A and B are shown apart, each in its own frame.
Chain A
Amino acid sequence: MALSIIKIFPRHGRQYIRDLRKAVIPEGFRGRPVIGKDITPAEEKLALTVCPIAAIQTGPFRLDLGKCEFCMECSFATEGKIRFTNDHRLSTNNRESLIIKVGEDNPIRVDQFMVRKEISSYFRYALKLRQVSAGGDNSTEMELNASGNVNFDMGRYGIEFVASPRHSDGLVITGPISSNMAEALQICYDATPSPKIVVLAGSAAISGGIYENSPVVDRKFLETIKPDLYIPGNPPHPLTFINGILDLTGKK
């Protein structure tokens, strides 16, 4: 047995990504989109028609990453005039900065002026989060789990998911908030001691995504709470999540 362990270890090697801040996902990954300046009105119209969830809007033409399911259909329809770069840094606390306008190619970041003071003073060195699934498809949950795995290891920053809201500093919500989870989510939020943060992970959580307008989705919770961080994606990549949290809490 010991012999085979000796064989396994060298091949397993060092799995963790050394620098999560600088890590790059290879080309082809569907990250931050850029709308080419040369997009024609006809192409804009095409993009508008194919988009499954009205993430594409007009007057002026723009793409809302808070709704986008990253299906790439607008990119195919416009033959690449709308292009998805491999930039995975999509997390922000400013909902407005998720609106991509024609010709813009700016990084999406956390707006430090908008961050509540207590967030960096309390959570800079350690942040415990409680995740609540509320009607999603479980892919975001899997990426959140992966954020703590042997490759991404966000535990190195003192960021961790915990079992009880009583032990947590905030909630990470996934899914569009199904009516059947609305009450449990509220109870969980109330049970989390203040100061606390609320993070919306995935298009479904941010805007309802493809489940928008479903009669069995109930997003009232978000009418009373202002989220501290939006993490777009279908699902968001672990690097998108980790970097977003690090930016929010002011970690270097």
Chain B
Amino acid sequence: MIGKNPLVVPLVEIPIFDYTVFMDTIADLMKDESRHCVAYHVVPLHGKLRFFCCMASDHEKNIVLLSHEQNTSPLPVLPSLTAAHFLFHMYEREIWEQYGIQFIGHPWLKPVRVVEDYPFYSIEGDGVHEVGVGPIHAGIIEPGYFRFSCNGEKVMHLEIQLGFQHRGVEKLFLEKPSGIQRAVLAESIAGDTSVGHSIAHSQLMETLAGIISSPALQCERIIALELERIAVHIGDTAALCTDIAYQFGQVVNEALRTIVINTTQSWCGNRFGKGLVRTGGSYYPLKKDFILLLLANLKEVEERFGQITHEIFTNPSVLSRFEGIGKVSPHQAGMIGAVGMAARSSGVKRDIRWSHPFQAFRKTTYEPVTLHQGDAWARAMLRKLEVEKSIQLIGNLLSGHDFERMPAHPVYELTLPASSFALSLAEGWRGEIMQSAVTDEKGNIMNYKVKDPSFHNWMALTLAVRNQEISDFPLCNKSYNLSYCGHDL
């Protein structure tokens, strides 16, 4: 079954393959190097386990949806997909953790979110030692456990154990069924991506319910999304400067980020855009006064960010700390199924805004920024270039639309189709966000699945620090700025 983002399909129309045929089909699909898996998870259905898999191609710009089915007892033992296509490694680990299914040939089925008795990889040998950090880190930062295997100062291997932020988000989507509860949950999947995750959620609910949101609303959402991107990218530029002790770059960017998040606050009363994106409508339609403020602030930010980044990227002492540090090659990025910034800074052109356009992106052409260097410099530079593009984009969206209209209020009482599968993709500032739902015979949501870009991209950080000085870890880490809560759910 081939579809486009977002999609909703009756369950009966999704082909159920025999597992060997399923594997062959995946192998076939993977011949398109730009194809990657955006969803692979299990839904218990009619006493069986149904495995849904969505394969999206960056170039073909379509999504292939397929499935296979297994008995619950005895539990199946399946040949691993990871063995041939490494980008499945996280999905299979997650399925193994949640359903106890063994995948033969998977390099190591390790827990994803269970923290007890985690089996760490360890290296033995002369001069090899381990450095453990966490779960509480030195700073105001989320928890995770990092174990470095080092030879002297050099990192041979980093293993990242996550799950400490696990709070049961996906289950809560089922246990708290009101539209408002789900909206609040969606914006708390990752607080720094409130808008991104809320768009993915609203879009999913609207697709299921067959609601088509107005062009103005779609535009507003994208403006909010790009504001979020601008704010985080500038904040991260500040943080990157902090980590290389370049205080000038830090403070100037901190101040610019404040302007952007305060602009979001002027729009909706919250600096992170919480409450701004809702299903079917909005309580905060763009008003003339706000548009003027937005344009003025963005102009100010654009000019000052232009000046400071010129300073940053021509400063030899900055460049010598950024260039060549934490390199991830295009091959590695493709192999691990990196998404978003982690992919684009390593030469993989992958951006949902371009390949699987959603909301207002359906009516504009967005050309992604791609850099091939794959180092800390590329990840910093990508932020600069994306900030510039997003500011431009907001300008275009504002000039091309008439926002003076009666606002449609959010719709929380939705009638959903029975026995259907739905998928929604959006490109948050980190990258591809996936949310998906399955409804039962009565049209109630019986399964809700969330995937933050960090689910794949933590592996990129692991690869980035290999053979680096351990002292470069903070810089590498910051250059990705991955989400713990988004991963842990």
Residues on A lying within 8 angstroms of B by beta carbon are: 1, 4-5, 7-8, 11-12, 15, 25-26, 28-30, 50-53, 69-73, 76, 84, 131-146, 149-151, 161, 163-164, 175-176, 178-181, 184, 188, 204, 209-211, 213-217, 234-235, 237
Instruction: Tell whether, in the assembled complex, residue A178 and residue B141 are in contact, meaning their CB atoms are under 8 Å apart.
Output: no
**Minimal beta-carbon separation of A84 from chain B (angstroms):** 7
Return chain A residues, CB-CB under 8 Å to B115. Answer: 180
Given A5-B311, A8-B252, A139-B272, is A132 in contact with B136 using a C-beta cutoff of 8 Å? yes
Alpha-carbon separation in the docked complex, A135 to B194 (Å)? 16
Closest-by-CB residue of A relative to B144 is A133
**Which residues of the other chain, A, contact B254 by a CB distance below 8 angstroms?**
15, 149-151
User: How far apart sit A209 and B283, CA to CA, in the bound complex (Å)?
Assistant: 22
Q: Is B70 an interface residue (CB 8 A)?
A: no
A5-B311, A151-B255, A188-B136 as given contacts; A50 in contact with B191, CB under 8 Å? no
Which residues of B are at the interface with A, using a C-beta cutoff of 8 A? 113, 115, 135-136, 138-143, 163-168, 171-172, 175-176, 178, 180-181, 183-185, 187-192, 194, 248, 251-252, 254-255, 258, 265-266, 268-272, 274-275, 283, 303-304, 307-308, 310-311, 314-315, 409, 483-485, 488
- When A and B form their complex, which 6 residue pairs have the shortest distance between CB atoms, in order from nearest? A139-B191, A163-B138, A137-B191, A137-B188, A214-B168, A52-B181
- Please measure, in the bound complex, the distance between the C-alpha atom of A15 and the C-alpha atom of B181, giving whole angstroms: 38
* Residue from B171, B194, B268 in contact with A139 in the complex, judged by beta carbons closer than 8 Å: B194
Q: Are B165 and A4 in contact (CB under 8 A)?
A: no
Q: Is the CB of B304 within 8 A of A12?
A: yes
Q: How far is the CB of B344 from chain A (nearest CB, A)?
A: 23
Cβ contact of A211, chosen from B163, B164, B167, cutoff 8 A: B167
> How far is A155 from B183 in the complex, measured between Cα atoms in Å?
36
User: Cβ of A234: which chain B residues have Cβ within 8 Å of it?
Assistant: 188, 270, 274
Is A175 in contact with B314, judged by CB distance below 8 angstroms?
no
Q: Complex Cα distance A99/B175, Å?
A: 26
Are B274 and A135 in contact, with the CB atoms below 8 A? no
Is the pair B172, A211 in contact by a Cβ cutoff of 8 Å?
A: yes
Q: Which of B138, B187, B255, B272 contacts A15 (CB 8 A)?
A: B255
Are A214 and B171 touching (Cβ within 8 A)? yes
Residue of B with least CB distance to A139: B191
A142 & B192 in contact (Cβ 8 Å cutoff): yes
Determine the distance from Cα of A132 to Cα of B140 in the docked complex, in whole angstroms: 7
Structural contact, A28 and B180, CB atoms closer than 8 A: no
Residue from B136, B265, B303 with most neighbouring chain A CB atoms (10 Å): B136
Q: Does B255 lie within 8 Å of A178, measured CB to CB?
A: no
**What B residues does A135 contact at CB under 8 A?**
164-167, 485
CA distance A117 to B462 in the complex (A): 48
By a CB distance below 8 angstroms, the chain B residues around A69 are: 184
The residues of A that contact B311 with a CB separation of less than 8 Å are: 1, 4-5, 8
Q: Are B168 and A145 in contact (CB under 8 A)?
A: no
- The 28 sampled A-B contact pairs (Cβ below 8 Å) are A8-B304, A11-B304, A12-B255, A29-B269, A52-B178, A69-B184, A72-B275, A73-B180, A84-B269, A131-B139, A133-B140, A134-B164, A135-B166, A137-B194, A138-B142, A138-B485, A142-B192, A143-B271, A151-B255, A161-B140, A175-B167, A178-B488, A180-B113, A180-B163, A181-B135, A210-B172, A211-B167, A214-B167
Residue of B nearest to A133 (CB): B142
